[in-house]
Amino acid sequence: MILYFILAFITVIKESFLFIKSLRRLRLGSRCIQDFVYMIFYFFFVFPILSQILFPDYHYIIFYRADDAMRDMSSNLIYLAFIWIFSYFIQHSAIRDRKIVSDKLEVQVFVTNICTWTVIVCFALTLALSGLQVILGGYGYAYINKEIVGVNEGIIGCGIISFLVVLGSHQYVSKFRIAFLSIFVFGFFWIVGKRYIIAETLVMTISILGMTKGISGKGMIKGLFAGGAFILVGGFLYGVFFKKNVDSFLDYLNVDFSRQYTLVYQFYCDKIGRQISINKYDGIVYLLTFYIPRIFWFDKPYPFVNYLTLSLVGQDEVAFENAGWATTCSIFSDLYDSFSFLGIGLGIWLLVKLFKMVNKEVRCHYKVLLLYLIIRLLTVQISSSIVQITVVFFIVTIASWLGRKKKYYFLISKKNVQNTISSK
């Protein structure tokens, strides 16, 4: 493993250099999505390598099977190769996309209004399903009633995504509306009580404000670092006051924050011949058929992350209808499980295409939704939010079509010069 640690150290140094370059571009006002995405990639995929170097004796207590994988040199070397390849494509695609980044933003008033009401309706539905006790019962009280946890998460997810769409149109939305909707978003956090939702929404808020010129490049960097510090300090305090120990903070970094160990574990399982999913294409089949109710297809595959969680804890033979997920993975894990290394290449190709779409997009609502989709694909298994993302995409698309048909007004922003034109 000495060879691996030397190569890992070289990788961290090289990626840190590229990270600093991305920061400089953002500071100078770059609106190329790759400069922002690279920071996400660095913290979730590269930074865990540094943690592995600094804490080589760390043990995965619950996901104990990951221990053997994280100490296998060949599996870790494959992961380093993945880092180098994906990093190259992020940087290479950025060189091309910087030439096509649009300096124009189009905000459609009707879409913004519909998304405003969607936030309010989602909050009302959550209260209707759970009652006022979800507010009065305490942080994370929604999980007391396990029968509606999934429904609650889906509705709350739609509400948060809709809020982000409204936030993307901040230049043409009153501060009162943003503040008013923020109260509902805080209520969503309180009801669900999951740290990743707070962290994800905080990062998305800063990135959306940066990409839509709500804050300067310097402000965006300050916000991201302040947000990162808030997340880390919050994770530490959570461990002290709720877990009653400090060790859980390292667990937070290596389990919740890292996307390294899941991929390394998958590489290791391939090496030793351990099967994670029941059938080869279960993960991708679920993503393609998520809209089919299980009552009509009882044997429909479950999200790959469910199988991955059970495999990591050594429960391969379990009734999957009672299975949940506790680990977190990226789109690369889903695709690798179904298509092996071809899936890794497919994931890189998909993200590069999405980068280009975001950079060219002038419609603010779609720019926000695509940005949200990219961050989810990189940081949290898409299966956990595919329903709410699809629903909000559908709502926004219908609203956009109706707005155009009824000749609602569009607002165009270019270099902070605001003009109002009518779509005729």
Domain hosting residue 28, numbered range: 2-101+259-343
Our count of domains for the chain comes to 1
What digits encode the pLDDT tens for the residues 142-175? 555 555 666 777 888 899 999 999 998 887 888 8
Say how many CA atoms lie within 13 Å of 129 toward its Cβ: 23
Give the Å distances, CA to CA, from 405 to 117, 154, 359. Answer: 20, 30, 26
How much is the pLDDT for 225? Answer: 78
**Residue 407, Ramachandran bin (φ over 0: left; ψ between -120 and 50: alpha; else beta):** left
Classify residue 353 by burial, with Cβ atoms within 10 Å: 0-12, 13-18, 19+: exposed
Q: What's the rounded mean pLDDT across residues 108-132? A: 87
Is 10 inside a domain boundary? yes
Q: 34 near 97, Cβ under 8 Å?
A: yes
How much is the pLDDT for 245? Answer: 58
**Residue 394: pLDDT over 50:** yes
Q: DSSP assignment, residue 46?
A: I
Is 57 inside a domain boundary? yes
Is 156 inside a domain boundary? no
Q: How confident is the model at residue 86 (pLDDT cuts 50, 70, 90)?
A: very high
> Who's near 53: CB < 8 A, 6+ residues apart?
5, 8, 9, 12
Is 145 inside a domain boundary? no
- Classified as helix, coil or strand, 326 is coil
Average pLDDT over the chain, rounded to an integer: 83
Question: Looking at 71-75, 248-252, 335-339, which range is the least confident one?
Answer: 248-252
Q: 311 near 65, Cβ under 8 Å?
A: yes
- Classified as helix, coil or strand, 250 is helix
Q: 75 near 271, Cβ under 8 Å?
A: yes
Is 396 inside a domain boundary? no
Q: What's the rounded mean pLDDT across residues 383-387? A: 87
**Residue 420: pLDDT over 50:** no
How much is the pLDDT for 316? Answer: 65
Is 337 inside a domain boundary? yes
pTM value is 0.87
**Residue 105: pLDDT over 50:** yes
Is 421 inside a domain boundary? no
Q: How confident is the model at residue 320 (pLDDT cuts 50, 70, 90)?
A: low
Is 271 inside a domain boundary? yes
Alpha carbons 378 and 192: distance in angstroms, whole number: 22
Q: How many CB atoms within 10 Å of residue 38?
A: 24
What digits encode the pLDDT tens for the residues 29-80? 888 899 989 988 998 999 999 989 988 888 888 889 999 999 999 999 999 9
CA angle 389/395/397 to nearest 5° reads: 100
How much is the pLDDT for 419? Answer: 38
Q: Which of 172-181, 238-247, 265-274, 317-326 has the highest mean pLDDT?
A: 265-274
Q: What's the rounded mean pLDDT across residues 360-372? A: 90
Kindly report the backbone phi and psi dihedral angles of residue 413, in degrees, each rounded to the nearest multiple of 5, phi listed first: -120, 130
Structure tokens at 191: 């009801």
Alpha carbons 375 and 254: distance in angstroms, whole number: 19
Percent of the chain with pLDDT over 90: 41
Q: Please give the radius of gyration of the chain, using alpha carbons only, rounded to the nearest integer.
A: 22
What digits encode the pLDDT tens for the residues 191-208? 776 666 777 787 788 878
> Who's near 200: CB < 8 A, 6+ residues apart?
375, 379, 380
How much is the pLDDT for 421? Answer: 34
Alpha carbons 364 and 108: distance in angstroms, whole number: 8
How much is the pLDDT for 380? Answer: 87
How much is the pLDDT for 395? Answer: 94
- Classified as helix, coil or strand, 108 is strand
- Classified as helix, coil or strand, 137 is coil
Structure tokens at 13: 């140094």
